[in-house]
Structure 1
Amino acid sequence: MWGRFADGGPPALADLKRSGRPPRFIPMQVAEAKALACQLPAETGLPLSRRSCPELAAELTARGVTDTVSASTVRRWLRQDALKPWQYRSWIFIRDPHFPTKVQRVLDLYARTYEGELLGADEYVISSDEKTSVQARCRCHPTLAPRRARAMRVNHQYGRGDALIYLAAYDVHRAKVFGRCEATTGIVPFMALVEQVMTQEPYAGAKRVFWIVDNGSSHRGKKAVDRLIKAFPNAVMVHTPVHASRTNQTEIFFSIVQRKVVQPNDFTDLTQVRDRLRAFENRYNAPAQPFQWRFTTSDLDDLLARLDRHTSTDRHQESSIALAA
């Protein structure tokens, strides 16, 4: 090193060229691979719904983008931008023209507010829904408990033991669940649930009890509102927007029921299902705390603003394509 410095000064201290394999792929090839991954196969006439990395590698070679490339190399390229074309997520677009108003009303009730005023101590919010088709599947062989280095084993074959409907009403702020099992869903079972709740205190003597429901046939439209008020004048029905039942907190309780009670669904008959559901209600109500609902009206405003920007962008792109055509 000292000799190099003596001969050439500071520039001579720079790293010397080393031997090694030159890069096989140029940045343009990597960019074309990522662009191909971001295309729907149907747009290029391929009979595929999604491409895997081996299929992307084969397509790049067939198009002459690369001489040859491995699936692992393509996967490494996509990982740089977190692209996973072999996966997908489903979504649904807002269809309810009154979506913002309806969602804000529900979110306000969760925050103990209605029409700009705080709810009183004698006003309550009930979230209600139905869990359909809870089946009784009697496994052909007994379920085996977990063992060391072995998960629980549930036999794949089973005998069908019919199904029931599980209706639940959840007091949002008191974290209390009222449930019942019925053979079918409909107006009569739903009103039976309402009566089960509204005929006991503190709801019977409450100033107002708000019932948050989705748009199912059991409680849809103005007729359902009038039917509820006629039966219980202090009840107020509040509908979630169409296709927005996730704003109903009972859905959270049902997800807990699915994980802790129903799965892996090994029941001898419907009686055992009913008994398990009733016992779980008692167990759940004892130490229950209200759900920590974090989605507020401010979050709703931000969400709607983002959706509006995306929609405006899509409309602009469609107009540009139409003009170009």
Structure 2
Amino acid sequence: MAYGQKTEYRLRMRAQVVLHAARSRSNARIAAETGLHVDTVRLWRGRFADEGIAGLADRRRSGRPPLFTTLQAAEVTALACRLPAETGVPLSCWTAPELAREAAKRGIATSVSASTVRRWLAQDVLKPWQYRSWIFITDPHFRTRAERVLELYARTFEGVALGGDEYVISADEKTSIQARCRCHPTLAPGQARAMRVNHTYGRGGCLAYLAAYDVHHAKVFGRTEPRTGIAPFMNLVAQVMSVEPYTSAKRVFWIVDNGSSHRGQKAAGRLSAAFPNAVMVHTPVHASWLNQVEIYFSVVQRKVVSPNDFTDLAQVGDRLRAFEDRYNATAQPFQWKFTTSDLDDLLARLDRHTTDHLQESSVSLAA
């Protein structure tokens, strides 16, 4: 122990104390030769005399007694699992300091720190200060419409596999892309410094960006328009359908949401009248997340639009068109993993949630 290469320093020093003591040296001399305090030498010399090698190990410590009981931690956690409004607290959501303050006010604990509350919540992975928005399904034909879209992503339509001359297009509009001209030039990032964008800007107008995304070939067709509407959308359709392989394709399925420029059977009839091989397929109401072009729009938002610093609308349009070429050069189809089985699981969960909510409402009304 005294000379081992892998022995801990504290154990090596204790072993040296024992070896010096075996040579009948005094505690004062051992302290001088090892650099330890004489009380420390006396401690380990006595421990070894009483217990042998085992006496050189650290004894188990009880540690500081806990300040809070498990019941107190559970009560604070239960409070965090309730909406503040339900408890009469005028807050929209809980934070760790607010929970600590409320715990003291309710007498759960005399005083508790926010860090302690945060540690309790972390044990159950609770973050009551975060929230996610959601919406109930209101479309009575939700499953039918969603299933049709998901089958097209899997290259089937009405139970029949799509042929090599059939294509699936996902289309939509990204509205109100502004040209914000910053009053001071944007500064490039530097060492230990993020890119800096001036807060004050001048408005240079806004435009709409319409895009059609070939789901299985990862090709984007885009155009900018002053505003959205039926005519701008049909211009996008003509832009795609006027080039090969879509012009001579057997069928081209256009997946769109329920926006005003392509809503309902009237829009489907208008599309098929202009292009007989085009078939319009609508996503369910409030289900634009089923439209893959929204993923492309999120890429555009992150990589092109934000932070917004354009001198005028012409620069916005040029940047979007240049990004299309850059994207199409290396794009791969999105790895879409949401299938009809996932759809059934989602609907089953929502059905259970709706049933439980209605039962709770009926019980509260009866009470």
Q: Return the TM-score normalized by structure 2.
A: 0.81
Question: Could you tell me which of 206, 229, 242 is aligned with 2:272?
Answer: 229
- Higher relative CO (Cα under 8 Å, sequence separation at least 6) belongs to 1
- Give the partner amino acid of 1:249: Q
Tell me, yes or no, if structure 1 residue 214 matches structure 2 residue 238.
Answer: no
Aligned residues: 315
Q: Distance in 2 between matches of 1:198 and 1:88?
A: 43
Following superposition, the deviation at residue 17 of structure 1 comes to 9.4
Q: Match of 1:172? A: 215
CA deviation after TM superposition for structure 1 residue 275, in Å: 0.8
Match of 2:24 in 1: none
In 2 relative to 1, CA 118–63 (structure 1 residues): closer, same or farther, beyond 3 Å? Answer: same
Residue 316 in structure 1 maps to residue 359 in structure 2: yes
Q: 2:255, 2:293 → 1: CA distance?
A: 9
Partner of 1:63: 106
Q: Deviations over 1:234-284 (max 9, x none)?
A: 111000011110111111111111111111111110001111111111111
SS at match of 2:301: helix
| 1:123-142 matched pairs, under 5 angstroms | 123-142=166-185
CA RMSD in angstroms, aligned pairs only: 2.1
What is the 5 A alignment of 1:290-301? 290-301=333-344
**Alignment partner of 2:323 out of 271, 274, 280:** 280
Structure 2 match to 1:163: 206
TM (normalized to structure 1)?
Answer: 0.92
1:26 CA drift (Å)? 1.9
SS in structure 2 at match of 1:286: helix
1:57, CA displacement in angstroms? Answer: 1.1
Query: Higher Cα Rg: structure 1 or 2?
Result: 2
Deviates more, 1:301-310 or 1:314-323: 314-323
- Secondary structure in 2 matching 1:97: coil
Cα distance per residue 1:209-239 (max 9 Å; x no partner) = 1000000000001111111111111111000
Q: 1:74 aligns with which of 117, 130, 147?
A: 117
Mapped partners of 2:102, 2:229: distance in 1: 53
Shift of 1:20: 5.0
* 1:127-179 Cα shifts (integer Å, max 9, x gaps): 00000011111111111111111111111111111000000011111111111
Unaligned runs of 5+ in 1: 6-15
Aligned partners of 1:260 and 1:61: how far apart in 2?
Answer: 47
2:80 to 37, 50, 63: 37
CA distance in structure 2 between the partners assigned to 1:40 and 1:209 by the alignment: 49
Using the TM superposition, give the Cα deviation of residue 75 of structure 1 relative to its aligned residue in structure 2, in angstroms: 1.1
Give the 3 Å change call, closer, same or farther, for CA 25–163 of structure 1 in structure 2: same
3-state SS of 1:93 partner? coil
Match of 2:7 in 1: none
* CA distance, structure 2, for counterparts of residue 18 and residue 273 of structure 1: 67
Q: How does 1:14-25 map to 2 (within 5 A)?
A: 20-25=63-68
- Could you say which residue in structure 1 is the equivalent of 2:35? none
Q: Does residue 108 of the first structure (1) align with residue 151 of the second (2)?
A: yes
Provide the residue aligned with 1:151 in structure 2. Answer: 194
- Any unmatched runs of 5+ in structure 2? 1-46, 52-58
**What per-residue deviation string (whole Å, max 9, x for no partner) do you get for residues 275-323 of structure 1?**
1111111111122221111111122122222222222332333333334
